[in-house]
Amino acid sequence: MGTLVMKFGGSCIGTTAALNQTLNIVLHESHQWGQLVLVVSALDGVTDILIEAADMARLGDQRGYRRIVATLRTRHVALIGTLPLEINEKAALEGEIDRLLLEMLNLYQGIAEAPTEKAALTQYDATIGMGERLSARIVAALIRQNGIPSVALDGTGLIITDDTVGGASPALTETQHRVTSQLVPILERQIIPVVTGFIGVDSSGRTTTLGRGGSDYTASILGSCLHAQEVWIWAGVDGLMSADPHIIPSAQVIPRLSYEEVAELAYFGARILHIRMIDLLRNSQIPVRVKNFRSPRRAGTLIHQHSPHTSQIVKAVTSISGFSLTVPLSSYIPTLEEIVEQVISAVPSGYADVATSSRSSTHYAVYFLTPTAAGPNALHQIRAALSSALQANPRTQQWELQPVQIITVIGAHLNEVPGVTAGILQTMSGIQILALMQGPTGCSLSVVVAVEQAVDALNRIHQLILSSG
């Protein structure tokens, strides 16, 4: 009877039906495990709206952010209204929600009136992490109503981080102390804590966030601090898939993956898991399951130490948007490299990366990508920052920015098995490969292609996966 950490994504708690399904899972697992810890995301779509509101506040658009706060109130109160809560519990919960919404309005006002951009940014994470604080209270109330003691806990009391805005890193030793002093006693009293995912606190007491999709990371931090037996990530899909099913309808669930394979999958575009969660779990050897909350009996995907040796070398193919910067070699390359370096280091950590660069006799090309955890606007932002830096520099004259797709094939040891790389390239015949790179762990191979050819490339590689399974 060990400890299980379960994280529920926004789609698992966003509607009454979803919440009831989640509740059934919690009730069932509470009998199977010695201790249960829940981590929740904001209701689906809420973080996107909070980011929009924070941006409005930065522009001083008071009516805009007030309207959003009102919409959020309506959604949360309507959801609470459909739950079978006792009258006192319901009133207390609505009171809590209103208190948080008021706090939110004050934070937005602080952002709108901040004298500098830097001062405005100090409140930013506190606002975008509000969704989790709202949802955790609803989930805990629902569990309590079903006769099981439960309490909502803010990640600000547990997860200590550095002070990076928008994508902080946890300070594990301090977090371990907090978990031992704050969380363990609750578990020992057989209370189920519902911890807000995504948010933490820095040493000055400022609320921080762990990057988009960061609730998974919270679950893995808690799992590792508690030496949990397993971490389960509940989502709206059956597990990690061999391709994005929205693009490739024949995509299949991958039953097992190694930590390395999953890290590559998350980095190169699978939107299910937060990239940084994997390292921690690998170090503490905690298995992770990704499961569909609508069909909890299905096994989902198990992520653990070793990927078994099967004939299925290539397990998945992903695509991620990027862009290329091409310049004639007559430009001053060291200046260009400096600009690239500066632009990348100026954006919040992990928001942009150079996938690869290459040089021909006439041109120099750099391929950029933004990891999934950076969120949907990151690519646009980095592209805009790069073009204004290039424009401002007299030593860079001609340059071209073009959108591209980075298609990545994932499978352990694919570089060592004879014929695998050749088979992948063969299947791409007729598709123009702009750049090619082998991942340093040997379990990924990426090709850069024009946006128009990406779906064709994905289809062909996925066909290869299906035929070798």
**Distance from C-alpha of 224 to C-alpha of 242, rounded to nearest angstrom:** 28
d(CA 373, CA 371): 5
Of the candidate spans 213-221, 227-235, 315-323, 460-468, the one that interacts with ligand ASP by CB under 6 A turns out to be 213-221
Q: What are residue 5's phi and psi, to 5 degrees?
A: -105, 125
With binding defined as CB under 6 A, does residue 131 bind ligand ASP?
Answer: yes
CB distance 289 to 300 below 8 Å: yes
- By CB under 6 A, the residues from 180 to 199 that bind ligand ASP are 197-198
- Taking the complex as a whole, the smallest distance from the CB of residue 239 to ligand ASP amounts, in Å, to 17
Distance from C-alpha of 189 to C-alpha of 187, rounded to nearest angstrom = 5
How many residues at the interface with ligand ASP, by CB under 6 A?
12
Of 132 and 260, CB closest to ligand ASP: 132
Q: Give, as ranges, the residues between 378 and 437 that touch ligand ASP (CB under 6 A).
A: none
Tell me the window of 41-49, 160-168, 175-183, 306-314 that interacts with ligand ASP (CB under 6 A): 41-49
Stretch that binds ligand ASP, among 167-175, 211-219, 389-397, 404-412 (CB under 6 A): 211-219
Q: Distance between CA 8 and CA 216 in Å, rounded?
A: 9
Q: Which residues, in sequence order, are CB contacts of 320 under 8 Å at separation 6+?
A: 268, 269, 369, 370, 371, 372, 405, 406, 408
For ligand ASP, the binding residue among 133, 212, 282, 315 (CB under 6 A) is 212
Using CB under 6 A as the binding rule, whether residue 214 contacts ligand ASP is answered as: yes
Give 245-268 as a DSSP string. TTT-TT--B-SEEEHHHHHHHHHT
Cα 368 to its chain centre, rounded Å, is: 19
161 binds ligand ASP (CB under 6 A): no
Q: Which of 155, 167, 170, 213 binds ligand ASP (CB under 6 A)?
A: 213
Would you count residue 10 as binding ligand ASP (CB under 6 A)?
yes
Interaction between residue 43 and ligand ASP (CB under 6 A): no
Tokens of 186: 């609750």
CB of 398 to ligand ASP, least distance (A): 38
Torsion-angle region of residue 442: left (phi > 0), alpha (psi -120 to 50) or beta? Answer: left
Smallest distance, Å, CB 14 to Mg ion? Answer: 13
Structure tokens at 354: 């150079």
Smallest distance from ligand ASP to CB 329, Å: 41
Rounded to an integer, what distance in angstroms lies between the CA atom of residue 245 and that of residue 241?
A: 7
> By CB under 6 A, is residue 12 in contact with ligand ASP?
no
**CB nearer ligand ASP, residue 10 or residue 170:** 10
Q: Which residues contact 98 (CB under 8 A, 6 or more apart)?
A: 73
Secondary structure (DSSP) of 33-80: -SEEEEEE-PSTTHHHHHHHHHHHHHTT-HHHHHHHHHHHHHHHHHHH
Least distance from ligand ASP to the Cβ atom of residue 15, Å? 16
- Residue 439 binding ligand ASP, by CB under 6 A: no
14 touching ligand ASP, by CB under 6 A: no
Q: Does 213 bind Mg ion (CB under 5 A)?
A: yes
Q: CB of residue 189 vs ligand ASP: minimum separation in angstroms?
A: 28
d(Cα 412, Cα 56) in Å, to the nearest integer? 45
307 binds ligand ASP (CB under 6 A): no
Per CB under 6 A, 155 contacts ligand ASP: no
Cα four-point dihedral sign 232, 241, 348, 172: positive
Binding site residues, Mg ion, CB under 5 A? 213
Binding site residues, ligand ASP, CB under 6 A? 10, 41-42, 47, 131, 197-198, 212-216
